[in-house]
């Protein structure tokens, strides 16, 4: 084999322009790495600080016991169960409505001024402050619908608040399914609904779950909507009781309980607010992790 000549070697030698581009690329990579680190490190420090401060109260008994001594001691079971009620009832209302609304807007609605107005309204509603949703829930569900201050009123308020997020994320997931999939189904005689049910929805389920994850996170952490519509300062509940509330009753919730013991109750054991925050954070992360695992499983079954 003959050695490459000088001309061939010169063709593969780095020039000043190439070296400058490589330097710029390295700088950009480290800048982006620094930005990601600047977001992740403070979060990890906050979580570590919460666990460190909560170490004196975190236990199974803290989760399963009811508050004692005027909420200065004891556990958080009534608030934990109340949060589960509120999140999953709101999810049961908002998820089907949100998905069906997104299917209509993406698959059936024509491109006219009315549907463009509806799309704009959905986008704008996603940015409405939670206190506005709280006042709407107070007027619509507590007074107009006569549900009173109850779990139903609070859950419906949370459902209305999180509905735009589910609609927007579901529309994005539906739009990500290639149009050729729909056309192939139509060409073999399938109706529009058969195509949506058998092809579009199964291939977009992972994206739909993204909206559900966001809904769970936001619903569990909101205070204003439930404070105005159904959450209560304190409610006597037996430790470990899985069904302590009726739907027409008020309930305790972790977000409001955390606010209450941090600002309204003097003499609270110092580690209890931090332990409550850890349980709230852990509950959200557990639900999110389950949804993410399901999303990854669904995504792995895609054929494209």
- 55 lies in a domain? no
Q: Which residues is 73 bridged to in the sheet?
A: 68
- 70 lies in a domain? no
Q: Which of 203, 195, 198, 194 is closest to 301 using CA atoms?
A: 203
The conformation of residue 191, written as its DSSP 8-state character, comes to -
CB 162 within 8 A of CB 99: no
- 32 lies in a domain? no
Give residue-wise pLDDT tens across range 59-74: 888 888 888 888 888 8
Helices (H), the chain: 6-11, 16-54, 60-64, 77-103, 113-125, 130-137, 151-175, 179-187, 192-195, 201-221, 224-229, 254-263, 271-300
- 239 lies in a domain? yes
Angstrom distance (rounded) from CA 282 to CA 121? 33
- 139 lies in a domain? yes
Q: Which of 197, 199, 195 is closest to 100 using CA atoms?
A: 197
CB 226 within 8 A of CB 255: yes
Angstrom distance (rounded) from CA 248 to CA 139? 17
CB 221 within 8 A of CB 54: no
Give residue-wise pLDDT tens across range 133-156: 999 999 999 999 999 899 999 999
- 36 lies in a domain? no
- Percentage of the chain beyond pLDDT 90 is 16
- 28 lies in a domain? no
Q: How many residues does the chain have?
A: 304
Count Cα atoms within 13 angstroms, Cβ side, for 123. Answer: 9
CB 223 within 8 A of CB 255: yes
* pLDDT over 60 (residue 6): no
Q: Which of 224, 253, 260, 228 is closest to 130 using CA atoms?
A: 224
Q: Quick check: helix, strand or coil at residue 71? A: coil
Mean pLDDT of the chain: 85
pTM for the full predicted model: 0.83
* pLDDT over 70 (residue 9): no
Angstrom distance (rounded) from CA 295 to CA 206? 5
Angstrom distance (rounded) from CA 74 to CA 65? 6
Q: What is the CATH number of the domain that holds 110?
A: 1.10.3720.10
Output 84 or 127, whichever has higher pLDDT: 84
Angstrom distance (rounded) from CA 228 to CA 157? 10
* pLDDT over 60 (residue 37): yes
pLDDT of residue 22: 87
- 67 lies in a domain? no
Count Cα atoms within 13 angstroms, Cβ side, for 108. Answer: 10
Q: Quick check: helix, strand or coil at residue 148? A: coil
Number of domains in the chain: 1
Give the range of the structural domain holding residue 80, as residue numbers without chain letter: 76-300
Angstrom distance (rounded) from CA 271 to CA 52? 9
């Amino acid at each position: 084999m003959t050695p490459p000549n000088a001309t061939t070697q010169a063709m593969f030698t780095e020039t000043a322009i190439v070296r400058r581009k490589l330097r710029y690329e390295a700088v950009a990579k480290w800048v982006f790495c620094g930005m990601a680190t600047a977001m992740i490190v403070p979060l990890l420090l906050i979580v570590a600080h919460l666990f460190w401060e909560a170490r004196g109260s975190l236990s199974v008994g803290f989760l399963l016991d009811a508050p004692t001594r005027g909420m200065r001691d004891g556990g958080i079971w009534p608030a934990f169960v109340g949060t589960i009620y509120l999140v999953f009832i709101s999810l049961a209302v908002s998820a089907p409505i949100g998905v069906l609304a997104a299917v209509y807007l993406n698959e059936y609605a024509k491109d006219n001024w009315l549907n463009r107005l509806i799309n704009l309204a959905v986008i704008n509603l996603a940015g409405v402050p939670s206190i506005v949703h709280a006042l709407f829930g107070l007027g619509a569900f507590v007074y107009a619908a006569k549900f009173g201050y109850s779990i139903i009123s609070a859950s419906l308020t949370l459902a209305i608040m999180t509905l735009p997020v589910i609609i927007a994320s579901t529309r994005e997931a539906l739009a990500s399914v290639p149009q050729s999939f729909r056309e192939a189904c139509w060409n073999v005689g399938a109706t529009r609904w058969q195509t949506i049910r058998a092809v579009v929805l199964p291939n977009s389920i992972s994206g739909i779950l993204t909206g559900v994850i966001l809904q769970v996170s936001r619903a569990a952490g909101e205070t204003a909507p439930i404070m105005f519509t159904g959450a209560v300062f304190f409610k006597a509940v037996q430790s470990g009781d899985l069904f302590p509330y009726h739907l027409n009753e008020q309930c305790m919730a972790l977000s409001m309980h955390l606010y209450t013991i941090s600002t309204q109750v003097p003499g609270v054991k110092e580690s209890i607010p931090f332990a409550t925050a850890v349980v709230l954070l852990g509950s959200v992360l557990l639900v999110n992790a389950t949804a993410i695992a399901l999303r990854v499983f669904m995504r792995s079954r895609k054929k494209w």
